[in-house]
């Protein structure tokens, strides 16, 4: 089993700085889907064929250490235990898809974990770049520079009329998904979220939960990304997302202000109560932890609380997940044990000694 430093720390190095609008936008991501010619797409490939794709793609970055983004390590999913795979998903470094069906799958990760290049996921190549805060354009620049390195080395499946060809028709064209992870507690509390999210859908964007397609929006965190990859240029996709996100930020800010003006005592009580429960509870399930961490994050953002730091809250969002908990406290914890250890971890991290 390889020495996997990526699963030791909960907080990726790239998450340590804030980025712009970080009181509302937690992170930005761009991923580009590509396939290479003369190889069956991953869903149709047998093990040997998947292995061949890996042999073609994995060395491209190895030979190109001058990416400017530090050295990369190749992690083959078949060589990892279930727990390490789960932790990589919990840190957003691989998709749940790749963890569940990792035949011939691999990921190339750079040192600060801001670039993750999945091989043999739904497509041969999925280049993902992550940035803290609202930095979709920066994530796009980085992803496209990595894409250029691959494009110079291999032949991509490309059709003059349709653009880049992908396994799922929803990715054909640019193969681009740009997204932001937003913390929108005030829009949820003021019950405006439904209206805002359906407006978002109407302008070609889609809303997902914290772990992507099919996951729930836990802890008032929503992932907003482009739905359309065909018929729009990459710049248009990024610009469209950018302008909608700016509007959502504005709505969330206004909602926070309104809550503070109209219900300061109620909000303060909610924040302090959640902080107290996180510091002293003996049992805590994931749903409650996510909700209470969201309350505390809001409290820090609007100045009700001076601590903990946002960096500690980001770290707790990963550390309280089932995989990471088991990594910390021991393999194979049942649900009741996880709830107990989650509470212990929260008490210890938030500075309560008993
Ligand atoms: N802005 C973001 N910040 C951090 N992680 C993100 C962000 N957007 C998406 N992710 C993570 O990327 C992973 C994949 O998400 P998702 O399923 O939405 O995208 P995808 O695999 O690119 O989409 P699809 O295959 O459906 O086109 C998930 O674990 C999700 O948490």
Better-scored residue on pLDDT, 61 or 13: 61
Predicted pLDDT of residue 229: 74
Domain C-terminal end among 184, 208, 243: 184
* Number of structural domains in the chain: 2
- Residue 147 structure tokens: 């894409």
Predicted pLDDT of residue 354: 47
1 is in an annotated binding site: no
Pair 31, 154 in one domain: yes
Domain C-terminal end among 162, 184, 206: 184
Which residue's alpha carbon is at the smallest distance from atom 15 of ligand 1? 212
Ligand 1 neighbour 211 (Cβ under 6 A): yes
Phi, psi of 72 (to 5 degrees): -110, 150
Predicted pLDDT of residue 23: 92
Which residue among 10, 25, 28, 29 is best mutated to probe the pocket of ligand 1, counting the most ligand atoms within 8 A of its Cβ?
A: 29
- Distance, CA 284 to ligand 1 centroid (Å)? 27
Any domain includes 256: no
Pair 18, 150 in one domain: yes
Pair 158, 267 in one domain: no
Q: Which residues contact 265 (CB under 8 A, 6 or more apart)?
A: none
What is the CA angle 244-209-347, rounded to 5?
115
Average of per-residue pLDDT across 161-173: 89
Pair 127, 24 in one domain: yes
Is the pLDDT reported for residue 159 higher than 60?
yes
Predicted pLDDT of residue 94: 92
- Distance, CA 259 to ligand 1 centroid (Å)? 31
Q: Determine what percent of the chain is predicted with pLDDT higher than 70.
A: 95
Predicted pLDDT of residue 276: 96
CB atoms within 10 A of CB 279: 16
* CA–CA dist 69, 212 (Å, integer): 25
ipTM of the complex as predicted: 0.94
Q: Give 89-146 pLDDT, tens digit per residue.
A: 988 899 888 888 767 899 999 988 999 999 999 999 999 999 999 999 999 999 999 9
CATH of residue 138: 3.30.590.10
What is the CA angle 32-37-39, rounded to 5?
100
Ligand 1 neighbour 116 (Cβ under 6 A): no
Q: Give 17-38 pLDDT, tens digit per residue.
A: 778 898 999 999 999 999 999 9
- Whole-number Cα distances in Å, 168 to 122, 229, 233: 8, 11, 19
* Nearest atom within ligand 1 for CA of residue 28: 1
* CA–CA dist 260, 281 (Å, integer): 27
Its domain, for residue 309, covers 263-350
28 is in an annotated binding site: yes
CB 112 within 8 A of CB 70: yes
Give pTM, 2 decimals: 0.91
Nearest Cα to 220, choosing from 297, 109, 324?
Answer: 297
Average pLDDT, the chain: 90
Any domain includes 217: no
75 is in an annotated binding site: no
26 is in an annotated binding site: no
Which residue's alpha carbon is at the smallest distance from atom 4 of ligand 1? 27
* CA–CA dist 269, 139 (Å, integer): 38
Ligand 1 neighbour 86 (Cβ under 6 A): no
Predicted pLDDT of residue 49: 92
Ligand 1 neighbour 208 (Cβ under 6 A): yes
Is the pLDDT reported for residue 254 higher than 80?
yes
Ligand 1 neighbour 216 (Cβ under 6 A): no
């Amino acid at each position: 089993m390889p020495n996997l430093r990526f699963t030791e720390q909960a907080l990726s190095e790239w998450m340590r700085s804030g980025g712009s609008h970080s009181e509302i936008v937690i992170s930005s991501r761009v991923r580009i889907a590509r396939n290479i010619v003369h190889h069956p797409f991953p869903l149709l490939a047998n093990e040997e064929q998947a292995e061949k794709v890996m042999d073609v793609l994995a060395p491209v970055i190895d030979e190109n250490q001058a990416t400017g983004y530090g050295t990369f390590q190749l992690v083959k999913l078949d060589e990892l235990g279930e727990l390490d795979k789960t932790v990589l998903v919990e840190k957003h470094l691989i998709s749940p898809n790749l963890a569940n069906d990792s035949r011939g799958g691999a990921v190339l990760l750079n040192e600060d974990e801001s670039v993750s290049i999945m091989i043999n996921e739904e497509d041969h190549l999925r280049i993902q770049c992550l940035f803290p805060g609202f930095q979709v354009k920066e994530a796009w620049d980085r992803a496209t520079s990595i894409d250029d390195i691959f494009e110079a080395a291999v032949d991509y499946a490309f059709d003059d009329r349709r653009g880049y060809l992908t396994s799922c028709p929803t990715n054909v064209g640019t193969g681009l998904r740009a997204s932001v992870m937003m913390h929108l507690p005030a829009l949820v509390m003021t019950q405006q979220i439904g209206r805002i999210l359906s407006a978002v859908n109407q302008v070609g964007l889609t809303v997902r939960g914290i772990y992507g397609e099919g996951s729930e929006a836990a802890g008032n965190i929503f992932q907003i990304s482009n739905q359309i990859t065909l018929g729009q240029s990459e710049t248009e996709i990024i610009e469209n997302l950018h302008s909608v996100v700016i509007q959502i930020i504005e709505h969330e800010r206004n909602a926070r202000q309104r809550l503070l003006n109209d219900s300061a005592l109620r909000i303060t009580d909610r924040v302090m109560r959640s902080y107290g429960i996180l510091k002293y509870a003996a049992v805590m399930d994931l749903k409650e932890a996510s909700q209470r961490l969201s309350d505390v994050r809001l409290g820090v953002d609007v100045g009700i609380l001076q601590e903990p730091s946002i960096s500690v809250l980001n770290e707790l969002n990963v550390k309280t997940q089932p995989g990471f908990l088991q990594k910390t406290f021991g393999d194979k914890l049942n649900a009741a044990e996880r709830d107990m250890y989650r509470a212990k971890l929260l008490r210890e991290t938030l500075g309560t000694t008993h």
